[in-house]
Amino acid sequence: MEGLNLISTFAEFKELKNIDRPTMMSVLEDIFRTQLAKMYGETATFDIIINIDKGDFEIWRNRVVVDVVDDPTQQISLEDVQKIDDSYKVGEDFTEEIKLASFGRRGILNLRQNLSSRIMDLEKANLYNKYRDKIGDIIVGEVYQVWKKEVLVMDEDNNGLMLPKTEQIPSDYFRKGDTVKAVVDNVEMKNNNPYITLSRTSTVFLERLFEQEVPEIFDGLITIKKVVRIPGERAKVAVESYDERIDPVGACVGIKGSRIHGIVRELRNENIDIINWTNNTELLIRRALSPAKVDSMKFDEENKKINVFLKQADVSLAIGKGGSNIKLAGMLAGYEIDIYREMDQENAAQEEEEDDVLLKDFNDEIEEWVIEALQSIGCDTAKSVLALPVDEIVKRADLEEETVMEVQRILRSEFEE
């Protein structure tokens, strides 16, 4: 029975398609030699013949025929040999086949356990090497188990891959049996086991989706210069074409949005802005802040900051929902962007027509230093303060959140009356 178990394990080892023949032969021979050394001594010599195709093997022990045995691991007496075959003479080599049964129950069990262990180690090493070469590639798998902090995804070969909660788009929701698409983000060994991490929030994932949907990117006619994203909310993709005949933005969007729609659906309706890349930082920021129209900019290279001045109507467009547009524009250009409202005669007249009120008129309800702090960021009137999100004012004017909320409450009550 033990012999059959060993043969079945050998057959299992033989069926591993991803293990090359020399490695397979070397591992099997090493396992047998280790066990033989335990049984017959370290200096005993053997010929091991392994038939990979049939899934079996032969073991032959080699000893020299002598009158008196000094080293039983390498010698055999003439008297013992003649009991087997009387044609041998002193000095000749005697070769004897070692049957599997001679290993004994414990020996066969050790062989089987060692072989199974080596099979497992090779499978782990192959899985690690396979996915180490796939880092940055998209894979499609099936959700096998959903936990609170991660999802277990099975690939086409039933290997387990992990999609942590931190690498999922906030609106992702998976159930067992769902098909999931993600990019291989990291491959490492944990407790001698390969741990493959997937990601759907990586910018690389968005790049690979564009490569799949836009043939010109896959063929190298259009280059993705930079990708920034807030997963599930918004992303900006800067593209460039070296062929003047190709419109990179139009090619990425497709006819009636046919190409971009598939990507947006995969990313749970994440808004994607595609812009033409340029090495001109000012022009890049203007494009990134679209649809807002920028009046002027002031660069602070030392602190990597840019003050952007816009008309009142463009402020909210430039900032975007939850500040996403301005944040991504800054990430794309590599600068921190501050938005300032630029007043001109036309705006002043419009503000007057809309019965806007100067901040200084509220000095009986709002402390003078708070008004000065708001004026320092371009907020001279009540409506200009109300037009900005609380967190934006807190950051730029260096005020407490409670203070800003109270100021906006006072200003809002003026217009409600």
Boundary residue ending a domain (301, 316, 342): 342
pLDDT in tens, the chain (417 residues): 344 455 555 556 655 556 667 777 788 888 888 888 888 888 888 888 877 666 677 888 899 989 888 888 888 888 888 888 888 888 889 888 888 777 778 887 888 888 778 878 888 888 999 999 999 999 999 999 999 999 999 999 889 999 999 999 999 999 999 999 999 999 999 988 999 999 999 999 999 999 999 999 999 999 999 999 999 999 999 999 988 889 999 999 999 889 999 999 999 999 999 999 999 999 999 999 988 998 888 888 888 889 999 888 888 889 888 889 999 999 999 999 988 887 543 454 454 445 678 888 888 888 888 888 888 887 888 888 888 888 888 888 888 889 999 998 888 887 775
**Would 57 be classed as within a structural domain?**
yes
Considering its fold, how many domains does the chain have in total?
A: 5
CB 94, CB 65: distance < 8 Å: yes
Do 368 and 322 have their domain in common?
no
Give the closest residue to 203 by CA, choosing from 328, 387, 87, 71: 328
Considering the domain boundaries, does residue 218 fall inside one? yes
Regarding whether 353 and 331 lie in a shared domain, the answer is no
User: Do 132 and 196 contact (CB within 8 A), yes or no?
Assistant: no
One domain, residues 114 and 150: no
Partner residues linked to 198 by β-bridges:
184
Q: Answer yes or no: is 145 within a domain.
A: yes
Q: Are residues 326 and 216 in the same domain?
A: no
Q: Do 27 and 101 share a domain, yes or no?
A: yes
> Are 187 and 261 in the same domain?
no
Same domain membership, residue 123 and residue 45:
yes
Q: At which of 180, 201, 222 does a domain end?
A: 201
DSSP 156-222: TT--EEEEEGGGS-TT----TT-EEEEEEEEEEEETTEEEEEEESSSHHHHHHHHHHH-HHHHTTSE
17 and 98 part of one domain: yes
- 167 within domain boundaries: yes
In a shared domain, residues 315 and 406: no
pTM assigned to the model: 0.68
Say if 75 falls within a structural domain. Answer: yes
Which residue, of 103, 130, 157, is where some domain finishes? 130
Cis peptide before 164 (omega within 30 of 0): no
Residue 125 resides in a domain:
yes
For position 49, which CATH number holds? Answer: 3.30.1480
Indicate whether 212 belongs to any domain: yes
Show the domain range for 234.
204-273
Same domain, 76 and 89: yes
CATH number assigned to the domain comprising residue 357: 1.10.150
